[in-house]
Amino acid sequence: MEKVYDVLVVGGGLVGMATALALESRQSVALLRREAAPRTETDPRVVALAQASLDVLSALGVSSYIAENATPIFSMELFDRDLDDPPTPADLTFDTAAAQGAPLAQVIANRLLEEALERKLKASSVTVLAHDLPFDLEQSPTQVRYGKALTARLLVAADGAQSRLRALAGIDLIAKPYDRCALSVIVEHEQDHCHRAVQYFYASGPFGRLPLEGRRSAVIWTETPAVVDRVLDGQKLDFDALQKRFGYDLGPISQGSGVGCQALHLGLARALGRGRVVLAGDSAHSVHPMAGLGLNFGFRDVAALRATVDRFTGLGLDIGGEVFIKAYSERRGLDTTLNALTIDRLHAAYGLRRPLAAQARRSVMQCLDKAPSVKRLLTRVANYGV
């Protein structure tokens, strides 16, 4: 028997769940997802939520849960250095003054954010369906049919970087492998981090430290596959190598979680929608984890979808039609493209280790550090986009 909805969201990750919850108030919404792997406390994945993402989550009713479980970032220091360089002051710093007195971000474990959205889903009107259908997409001028059993006016493809729906909708992808892997792990240390985030730009790629509750920090370590093979043995890391990159300002560190490892690439869809299908999250854009912006881009998609659906519904217009797809694409297209390409160019620029290039980068960062108005602008763009 065919089931009909206003909106069908495919993909049960953070962006998929948030999209379904954001659209349920004025539409009949179904969320199609595969059974998730059990969450464990050893999962090292975290996200630094920018203010725009916090606004989206607040509208979904999970702000109190985040406040109880997230760790605020009150300052951030950026260093451009080689691994064997002696300690130096940060080349560029940000603090709450750059964010109009608010924290720069809130850091929370992925599993806790998933639990919060899962609770909201169970109390919502969203129909949650198991994804046991074959990948099959049929589109007409008035509706889209998925798996021959589900029909909707609008289908949101939030099924990840390897999106099958993106391909079925005929949307091409600009793909660029980085020949880098991101190692993620939570470490414990002797000294207090004072809610300070740190980003080192090494020759192999960025190395980020994000503060967590207590004397713990989340680490996102970018390395070549060859180095990963040397430093990672199952779920155990070479902590001498990690300590050298982490620094010694917080004292000795020890492993406080499992280890995640993810191959990195740039993925940018050539269009954000086609027919009655729109892309959201990693299906539309997957970027280097520099600055922790990937999931925040996805929540901007959620905000744009909600605003566009509300506008068209209020005017009595068709959600999912050609004009709707164009409106959503115009709202998200420029920000998505500029941010993805900017992060890609920064990755390339910090890979240049010749003395002249390194000195030029440091000079630019140090000049920016002396320009509070520019830092406020950069913070706003990082939070809300262009």
List pLDDT tens digits, range 294-327: 789 999 999 999 999 999 999 999 999 999 999 9
- Contact in structure between 266 and 174 (CB atoms under 8 Å): yes
Name which residue leads in pLDDT, 287 or 331: 331
The DSSP letter of residue 228 is H
Residues 6+ away with beta carbon under 8 Å from 113 = 14, 47, 62, 66
Locate tokens 């969201």: which residue? 9
pLDDT at 82 over 60: yes
Residue 154 pLDDT level (bands cut at 50, 70, 90): very high
Residues 6+ away with beta carbon under 8 Å from 257 = 41, 42, 43, 44, 185, 186
- The C-alpha atoms of residue 280 and residue 239 are separated, in whole angstroms, by 37
3-state DSSP assignment of residue 106: strand
- The C-alpha atoms of residue 75 and residue 103 are separated, in whole angstroms, by 8
- Round the average pLDDT of the chain to a whole number and report it: 89
Domains in the chain (CATH in brackets) are 3-62+110-175+266-350 (3.50.50.60), 73-108+177-264+355-384 (3.30.9.10)
Picking from 129, 118, 127, the residue whose alpha carbon sits closest to that of residue 60 is 118
- The C-alpha atoms of residue 104 and residue 374 are separated, in whole angstroms, by 15
- The C-alpha atoms of residue 330 and residue 328 are separated, in whole angstroms, by 5
What's the pLDDT score for residue 88?
Answer: 86
What average pLDDT score do residues 217-229 get?
92
What's the N-to-C CA distance of the chain in angstroms?
45
41: amino acid identity, one letter: E
53-70 per-position pLDDT tens digit: 999 999 999 999 999 999
Please state, in angstroms and as integers, the Cα–Cα distance from residue 375 to each residue in 78, 274, 295, following that order. Answer: 13, 37, 22
The DSSP letter of residue 87 is P
- The C-alpha atoms of residue 197 and residue 79 are separated, in whole angstroms, by 11
- Contact in structure between 224 and 204 (CB atoms under 8 Å): yes
pTM: 0.91
Residue 133 pLDDT level (bands cut at 50, 70, 90): low
3-state DSSP assignment of residue 254: strand
